[in-house]
Each structure stands twice: as structure tokens, then as C-alpha cells.
Amino acid sequence: MTALADALGLYVHWPYCARICPYCDFNVYRPRGQDDALLDAILADMTGWRQRTGARPLASIHFGGGTPSLMTGARINRLIEHADQLWGFEDGAEIGLEANPNNIDNFADIIAAGVNRLSVGVQSLEDAALSQLGRDHDGALARRAIERAMSLCDRVSIDMIYARAGQTAASWEAELREILAFGASHLSPYQLTIEAKTAFGRRASRGEQLDSPVELAADLFDLTHDICDAHGLPAYEISNHARTVQDQSRHNRLYWEGGDWIGVGPGAHGRIGSAAGTGRLACEARAQPKAYIDAVAGAGSGLGATEQLSASDERAERILMGMRLDDGLDLEVLQRKTGLTIDIDALDRLGAQGLVEQRGARVRLLPAGRIFADRISGELVPDTP
Ligand code: SF4
């Protein structure tokens, strides 16, 4: 297997959702009967990308969105088969898909199509919380979806949202313990964040409290880590917990380790190519499904914007991503990919404050630094290019 910093992944964005959740700021749309046209466009876009990447086997595919579990198994299988024909797969390649509990009847077809890792977006087990979050399923369906996924697939992750308005430490602990009791090998508990351009953002700007106060959110974060640690699911990234190294998400690790990935589908992002000192290409596909379909039909590519990152821009991004990992940022990879290193004075200062430590070639957050990950990453980026 290729080291993930040197591996290639494929992200497929399926932008449709049966209902748009009021907290969501992803590139999402209500279905408009364009599934066949979009599928054909994504397949053609992949063919174009093969010419740009050359022959490199894929370490992973991830179907995100949107709601990719709305896709039929036949469509998912066509995408996987096409990827196999274009690039082929590394041994043990991860093929992951984000599944909505509402699509429970489609889970068997999704697995039969070739998906080997399911992330079930249950978000909560409480009916009142799910209603508050504007989700289109209840707690009973969330529980059934987890059981169904685990009966079909060895690698199941459960996505949760906490730090919601009205939540207490006791209620979150009870909910988290029930989730852990299902025995899934991976858990992604995310704190609710209020994004400005969402329905929640507009309500919050009118003074409505939709998330937990900052201090309680910090307590819930610590509680989450303590309970998951005690349950044998330590965090390997700020918001991702896994039982073993094999249970970690290979595709997400590829992002955090700084590997290359292709993004296809409306609004998908990608990062390609990195030779020391030259920076790499940041790519973003056209966001609107129709614009994406038209772009692929016209130019053979759904690309909207590309930006050649400078070596120092690439360094800042690699520091931000790498420091999210529990085992930290690999300084040798950073040097090899960008020709640059971190701010050594900042490393000494943050080390003296008990927020980070260096172990061999890696710099990692200490528990006291986890909650300040973004600020600490920013301090490790030197001011001068
Ligand atoms: S289902 Fe997921 S992607 Fe779709 S609107 Fe809700 S949170 Fe966003």
C-alpha cells in the first residue's frame, strides 16, 4: 500500500438531498430529475481526470454529498467500475459512502454495488433533537439504520451532532453511551456549528440560541473524548474515533496526511500534484448541477476554478490538516512536499505551554491543545513565506 501522503483518492459528490437540513452549508440541492444526466457527466469527468493524473491506482473512493445513498446501487456500481477501469485500485482500497437512515431499504444494494464502508448519518437518537435539527428521520429509524448497516457491512461509522441547544452533559452522555453500545468500530461526533449562510445562521442572527454555549460545548468535547477513550474508541483525529488503525477512515486520513485526491460531481474539491517547492493545484468543480453537466458536455471537464497554490500556501494547508491527526503532522513529508518547515520558535513556545509535543518527525497536539487546534496550527505557520 502506498503511504497516504503519496496516495491518490477519488471524491464523488452527489448533491441531492430529499430535504435540506437547516444547519447544512454543503453544496446541496433538491432532486430535479437530472440523475441520469449527472451520472453521465460524472463518468465523463472521471475519464478526463484520468488523463491528468496518469496511471495511479486509487487508495480510496468516497461518495459524499448531499445524499449519495439516494443513488441506486446500479449507478454506484457504474461509478466504481468506471474508476476501476480508469485507475484500478490498490489492495485494501476503501470505498466509502455516506448513508441517510431514510435510505435504509437501499443499504443492501449499496453494499452489493461494491461499497465496503458505510457512514450512517444518524446525528442523534432523540426525536426532539432530530426535529430541532430539521432531520427527516426519527430516533427509531436511526437505530434500525445502524443495525441494518452493521448487519451488511464490517466497516460502519456513525455520524453524530452534539452541542445542540438545550443539551446537557447528562443527556449527551446517555445518548453517546447508547450509540457506543451498538459496537460500531468508528464514530464521528461533530459539534454543531452555526454557519452564516444557512437557515440556522439566519435564525441565530435574530438572537435565537441553537447551539450550546461555548463553555458547555468545550465540556461536551472533553466528555466525548473521555467516554470514547474508556470505550476503546480513541480519537485519531479531532472529531473521529476508531477502535483500531484498520478501522480508521483511509479516505479521510488521505486528506489529513496530504495525499492527492480528485473531486468529481458538482462543487467537489480536489488537490493534485506536489513537487517540492512548486505548490499544488487546488481544484473546484462547477457548483450547480446543471452548470456542471453543461461544463462536462462542452469542455469534457466539470472544473470551475483552479488555483496553483504556492509552496507556502500548501504548507499552511498541510499544517492545518496534519495537526488534526492524533499522531500529528509529519515534518519529513512537509519538507519533501513543500521544501519548507514549521515555525520552530512557535513550536518551542507551544511546547512549553503543554499544548503540543514533537515525537520523532511528528508534531502533535497534546490533550490540552485539542480544543485550540486551528489556532495552534495557525501559530505553527511562519509569518514569512
Ligand atoms: S442530509 Fe446531509 S448533506 Fe443533505 S442537507 Fe442534510 S446535512 Fe446537508
- For helices 169-181 and 214-230, give the axis angle rounded to 10 degrees: 30
In ligand 1, the atom with minimum distance to the C-alpha of 19 is 5
pLDDT, tens digit, 9 for 90 and up, residues 17-56: 999 999 999 999 999 899 999 999 999 999 999 998 889 9
Spatial contact of 133 and 210, defined as CB atoms under 8 Å apart: no
pLDDT at 2: 85
pLDDT, tens digit, 9 for 90 and up, residues 117-129: 999 999 999 999 9
pLDDT, tens digit, 9 for 90 and up, residues 259-284: 999 999 999 999 998 555 567 999 99
Task: Give burial (CB, 10 Å; 0-12/13-18/19+) of 385.
Answer: exposed
Domain 311-385 - what CATH class?
A: mainly alpha
pLDDT at 232: 98
- How would you write the chain as a 3-class SS string? CCCHHHCEEEEEEECECCCCCCCCCCCCECCCCCHHHHHHHHHHHHHHHHHHHCCCCEEEEEEEECCHHHCCHHHHHHHHHHHHHHCCEEEEEEEEEEECHHHHHHHHHHHHCCCCEEEEEEECCCHHHHHHCCCCCCHHHHHHHHHHHHHHCCCEEEEEEECECCCCHHHHHHHHHHHHHCCCCEEEEEECCCCCCCHHHHHHHCCCCCECCHHHHHHHHHHHHHHHHHCCCCEEECCEEECCHHHCCHHHHHHHHCCEEEEECCCCEEEEEEECCCEEEEEEECCCHHHHHHHHHHHCCCEEEEEECCHHHHHHHHHHHHCCECCCEEHHHHHHHHCCCCCHHHHHHHHHCCCEEEECCEEEECHHHHHHHHHHHHHHCCCCC
Cis amide prior to 66 (ω within 30 degrees) = yes
pLDDT, tens digit, 9 for 90 and up, residues 355-369: 999 999 999 999 999
CA distance 365 to 351: 9
CA distance 59 to 93: 5
* CB-ligand 1 contact for 190 (6 Å cutoff): no
Model confidence at 187: pLDDT above 90: yes
Task: Give burial (CB, 10 Å; 0-12/13-18/19+) of 287.
Answer: middle
Break the chain into its structural domains and give their ranges.
Answer: 4-254, 311-385
CA distance 308 to 293: 24
pLDDT, tens digit, 9 for 90 and up, residues 280-299: 999 999 999 999 999 999 99
All cell numbers assigned to 121: 448519518
All cell numbers assigned to 316: 499552511
In ligand 1, the atom with minimum distance to the C-alpha of 20 is 5
Q: How many CA atoms lie within 13 A of 83 on its CB side?
A: 29
Average pLDDT, the chain: 96
> Distance, CA 24 to ligand 1 centroid (Å)?
6
pLDDT, tens digit, 9 for 90 and up, residues 129-169: 999 999 999 999 999 999 999 999 999 999 999 999 999 99
All cell numbers assigned to 71: 443513488
Residue to substitute in 14, 17, 71 for testing ligand 1 pocket (most ligand atoms within 8 angstroms of CB): 17
pLDDT at 186: 98
* CB-ligand 1 contact for 28 (6 Å cutoff): yes
> Distance, CA 161 to ligand 1 centroid (Å)?
12
* CB-ligand 1 contact for 242 (6 Å cutoff): no
Domain 4-254 - what CATH class?
A: alpha beta
| Domain 4-254 shares a fold with domain 311-385 | no
Model confidence at 116: pLDDT above 90: yes
Residue to substitute in 19, 27, 28 for testing ligand 1 pocket (most ligand atoms within 8 angstroms of CB): 28
CA distance 81 to 77: 6
| Tally of CB atoms within 10 A around 204 | 18
> Residue whose CA is closest, atom 8 of ligand 1?
24
All cell numbers assigned to 338: 513543500
All cell numbers assigned to 76: 454506484
